[in-house]
Amino acid sequence: MKMTGAPKLYQTMKFKRNVKNGFILLILLAGSAALLTPLWWMISTSLKSPEEIAQFPPTFIPEKFHFSNYIKAWSTGPFTRWALNSVFLAVVTTIGSVLINSLVAYGFAKLKFKGRNIWFVIVLATMLLPGFVTMVPQYMLFSKLGWVNTYLPLIVPSFLGSAFFIFLLRQFMMTIPNEFIEAAVMDGASHLRIWWHIMLPLTKPALITVAIFSFNGSWNDLLGPLLYLNDESMYTIQLGLQTFKGSVQTQWNYLMAMSVMILLPTVLIFFIFQRFFIEGSNLSSGTKG
Amino acid sequence: MQQQSARERLLHGINDRGTNVSGNSAAMNNQAVSKTHMKTKKAKSKTFKENLIGYGFISPWLIGFFFLTAGPLVFSLIVSFSDYNITSKMHFTGLDNYKRMFTADDLFWTSLWNTIYFVVFSVPLTTAGAIFVAVLLNTKIKGMKIFRTIYYLPAVLSGVAVYFLWMQLLSPGTGLVNLVLSWFGVDGPAWLFDPSWTKPALIIMKLWSVGGGMLLYLASLQGVPESLYEAADLDGANMFQKFFHITLPMITPIIFFDIITSTIGAFQVFQEAYVMSKDGDGGPAHSLLFYNLHMWNNAFEVFDMGYASAMAWILFIIIMILTLINLKFGKRWVHYEGGDNK
């Protein structure tokens, strides 16, 4: 490399970086367009008339906005009922997940007992176990218990801990100094009280992450309801949407209108709690230290 | 999405597992050893109490583990050697289910082939895509936060609505994908209606939500020390050299876990195929009949629990073997910063 003096070298490097960043910006913009257009397409299709959907080439912006598609689609089935069922299940399973998993995580993070490390390795191992392998025998178990066509198979497991959430919360709790707990133990507080009064408030960000994930997981779950629910009045919104497909065939405006409405809660949660999604993953890179 | 953060935490968890021993109780134990008999007894009851409390706290998970995981696993192994169909008594039929699977059930092989096809293409593509996007999003440009949100958004969306959306996007006549292809003079395929294009269609859909994996890589990219890049700059390394000699080796642990967990995930592809083919019939020419869909149909359409359990165990064994292979070969290419390959 020729010696051209410091300022000039600096200038060329800055220039190079600008070119590079400009190039990256272009790729990112193109990628954003590719990722967002499907969503725009969904909204646009949901507002079109059937005739406009059928025409070629398709239009990006509807000629006329048929907002009534939303009302018509919603009234083709007991969607309000199904939505309420889903909300009920999502709320109950979220409460179960947050409480039980943090309780178990507290045990693994802050209590000393025989066999703790072995059990924790088993927790990790179950995360690698394919869920489908236990699905068939679980169904046999729940059907023997007479739980098919009740909400119990969808609710009870969320009160028995999930390896992923236990792991997430345990990692978070490890970052909280033991002195807090020891001081409380000295004062004669039971671990249950310490968990409730000290650990839960201190781990709030992680608990919110767990709450979001389990709410979304329950709201979007098709497999569980498909397997265990038979009565139409008990359907969840996902199962309702799946059966809705059969009744309206290829009326894409209705299908898209329903899809928009059903994705809306997830999108809202994402934008309100975005911090917890993104920070959740930063947290672990921080602990890597 | 959950899975992805799980992987990362799994990674760190293994490193610091068991390092947290309460100083308080350790001191108590030491005391117990050195002091009188009376005190030893007292310490013993103390340990007993500690164990009791500890197991009390983890008991919900323990119950779940025995009743929803370990128990069912063992039971399904037993059932796999029988003709159990829930209503009938169980008759043991030896290896019949397994024999039928390997010799008489053509759809078993079709479903296995479809699944392997999906795994082989979707796992490397989504992994490479996630790394690529993460590297771009790790650049210091104004407004990067907005880009991160945009790229992550599709990963948040899931469930039946997303499958419907893609059925519309991929619809041969009026869908967006073929419209865009037509701008480039490409006559788009019939996607979900053409047996040779159904699986690529699903893989394209998977690539749309590559942002979930991206987040995982982004977090680990931010942990790569800046000094490494500065040193490389001084040596006159270009962008690609820096990527292949610094960035990539530094994030191999994450790639490793991503590959293991997404392979397991991809082997279980089910909902997409169930929703996007007519009521789970597996699409045109059974091209979307994945392993789990075939298992599902055997278990919950014809209630052949014995056969479905046998299929579940074969899947379990396949995944175990693949994970072990991954773990074995992982040692060769995964770079751990500590250097002591733990």
| pLDDT the model gives residue B21 | 39
Q: Give pLDDT tens digits for B106-128.
A: 999 999 999 999 999 999 999 99
Does some domain include residue A225? yes
Does some domain include residue A1? no
CB contact under 8 A, A116 and B54: yes
| pLDDT the model gives residue A17 | 79
Mean pLDDT of A255-278: 89
* Closest chain A residue to the Cα of B253, Cα to Cα: A288
CB contact under 8 A, B164 and A245: yes
| pLDDT the model gives residue A283 | 47
Handedness of CA B43, B45, B47, B49 (dihedral sign): negative
A118–B contact, CB cutoff 8 A: no
Q: Among A244, A240, A242, A236, which residue's Cα sits nearest to residue A219?
A: A236
Q: Are A220 and A239 in contact (CB under 8 A)?
A: no
Among A62-66, A131-135, A243-247, B97-101, the range of highest mean pLDDT: B97-101
Min distance B309 CA to chain A CA atoms (Å):
7
Q: Is pLDDT above 70 for A31?
A: yes
B9 chain-A contacts, CB cut-off 8 A: 167-168, 171, 284
Rounded CA gap, A119 and A24, in Å? 46
User: Residues with Cβ < 8 Å from B268, sequence gap 6 or more?
Assistant: A130, A131, A132, B292
Give how far Cα B9 sits from Cα of A2, B39, B130, B144, Å. Answer: 48, 41, 18, 25
| pLDDT the model gives residue A7 | 57
Q: In a 3-state reduction of DSSP, which class is residue B150?
A: helix
Query: What size, in residues, is chain A?
Result: 289
A233–B contact, CB cutoff 8 A: no
- Cβ-count burial of A205 within 10 angstroms (0-12 exposed, 13-18 middle, 19+ buried)? middle
Q: Give pLDDT tens digits for B197-232.
A: 999 999 999 999 998 888 889 888 988 888 999 999
CB contact under 8 A, A112 and B68: no
Q: Among B63, B115, B100, which residue's Cα sits nearest to residue B309?
A: B100
Name which of B21, B236, B268 is nearest A1 (Cβ-Cβ). B236
Rounded CA gap, B307 and B303, in Å? 9
Q: Is pLDDT above 60 for B36?
A: no
B275 chain-A contacts, CB cut-off 8 A: 222, 242, 245
Domain extent, residue A83, equals: 70-288
| pLDDT the model gives residue A9 | 59
User: Residues with Cβ < 8 Å from A216, sequence gap 6 or more?
Assistant: A266, A269, B1, B156, B158
Q: How confident is the model at residue B55 (pLDDT cuts 50, 70, 90)?
A: very high
Does some domain include residue A30? no
User: Residues with Cβ < 8 Å from B200, sequence gap 6 or more?
Assistant: B121, B191
Question: Choosing among B1, B48, B69, which should be mutated to test the A contact, i.e. which has the most A CBs within 10 A?
Answer: B69
- Statement: the pTM of the whole predicted model exceeds 0.95: no
Token representation of residue A92: 């109950």
Q: How confident is the model at residue B37 (pLDDT cuts 50, 70, 90)?
A: low
How is residue B82 annotated by DSSP? B
Radius of gyration of chain A (CA): 26
Mean pLDDT of A236-246: 88
Does some domain include residue A173? yes
Rounded CA gap, A211 and B273, in Å? 28
Mean pLDDT of A212-226: 93
CA B90 from centre of chain = 34
Rounded CA gap, B137 and A66, in Å? 38
Q: Is pLDDT above 90 for B8?
A: no
| pLDDT the model gives residue A16 | 77
CB contact under 8 A, B165 and A178: no
Rounded CA gap, B172 and A194, in Å? 60
CB contact under 8 A, B76 and A136: yes
User: Residues with Cβ < 8 Å from B45, sequence gap 6 or more?
Assistant: none
Question: Choosing among A14, A86, A112, A287, which should be mutated to test the B contact, i.e. which has the most B CBs within 10 A?
Answer: A112
CB contact under 8 A, A178 and B150: no
A38–B contact, CB cutoff 8 A: yes
Q: What is the CATH number of the domain that holds A200?
A: 1.10.3720.10
| pLDDT the model gives residue B2 | 40
CA atoms within 13 A on the CB side of A143: 18
Q: How many domains does chain A have?
A: 1
Mean pLDDT of A1-6: 51
| pLDDT the model gives residue A279 | 60
Where do the structural domains in chain B lie, given as residue ranges? 23-79, 96-333
If one compares A203 and B1, the residue with the highest pLDDT of the two is A203
ipTM of the complex: 0.87
CB contact under 8 A, B73 and A134: yes
Q: Give pLDDT tens digits for A259-268.
A: 999 999 999 9
Mean pLDDT of A141-170: 94
CB contact under 8 A, A24 and B53: no
CA atoms within 13 A on the CB side of A32: 16
- Tell me the percentage of chain B whose pLDDT exceeds 70: 86
Q: Name the residue with tokens 């309206």.
A: A248
Name which of B71, B136, B153 is nearest A270 (Cβ-Cβ). B153
A53–B contact, CB cutoff 8 A: yes
Average pLDDT over chain B, rounded to an integer? 85
Min distance A210 CA to chain B CA atoms (Å):
9
Q: Among B181, B153, B178, which residue's Cα sits nearest to residue B168?
A: B178
Average pLDDT over chain A, rounded to an integer? 88
Q: Name the residue with tokens 């201190």.
A: A202
Q: Are A116 and A175 in contact (CB under 8 A)?
A: no
CB contact under 8 A, B173 and A56: yes
Min distance A69 CA to chain B CA atoms (Å):
16
Mean pLDDT of B240-254: 90
B292 chain-A contacts, CB cut-off 8 A: 132
Q: In a 3-state reduction of DSSP, which class is residue B342?
A: coil
Q: Give pLDDT tens digits for A86-126.
A: 999 999 999 999 999 999 999 999 999 999 999 999 999 99
Q: Are A47 and A67 in contact (CB under 8 A)?
A: yes
Does some domain include residue A149? yes
Q: Among B73, B35, B24, which residue's Cα sits nearest to residue B309?
A: B73
Question: Choosing among B75, B157, B192, which should be mutated to test the A contact, i.e. which has the most A CBs within 10 A?
Answer: B157
A196 chain-B contacts, CB cut-off 8 A: none
Q: In a 3-state reduction of DSSP, which class is residue B215?
A: helix
Q: Give pLDDT tens digits for B250-304.
A: 999 889 988 998 999 999 999 999 999 876 788 899 999 999 999 999 999 999 9
SS (H, E, C) chain A: CCCCCHHHHHHHHHHHHHHHHHHHHHHHHHHHHHHHHHHHHHHHHHCCCHHHHHCCCCCCCCCCCCCHHHHHHHCCCCHHHHHHHHHHHHHHHHHHHHHHHHHHHHHHHHCCCCCHHHHHHHHHHHHCCCHHHHHHHHHHHHHHCCCCCCCHHHHHHHHCCCHHHHHHHHHHHHCCCHHHHHHHHHCCCCHHHHHHHHHHHHCHHHHHHHHHHHHHHHHHCCHHHHHHCCCHHHCCHHHHHHHHHHHHCCCHHHHHHHHHHHHHHHHHHHHHCHHHHHHHHHHHHHHHC
CATH class of B96-333: mainly alpha
CB contact under 8 A, B271 and A53: no
- The residue type of A163 is A
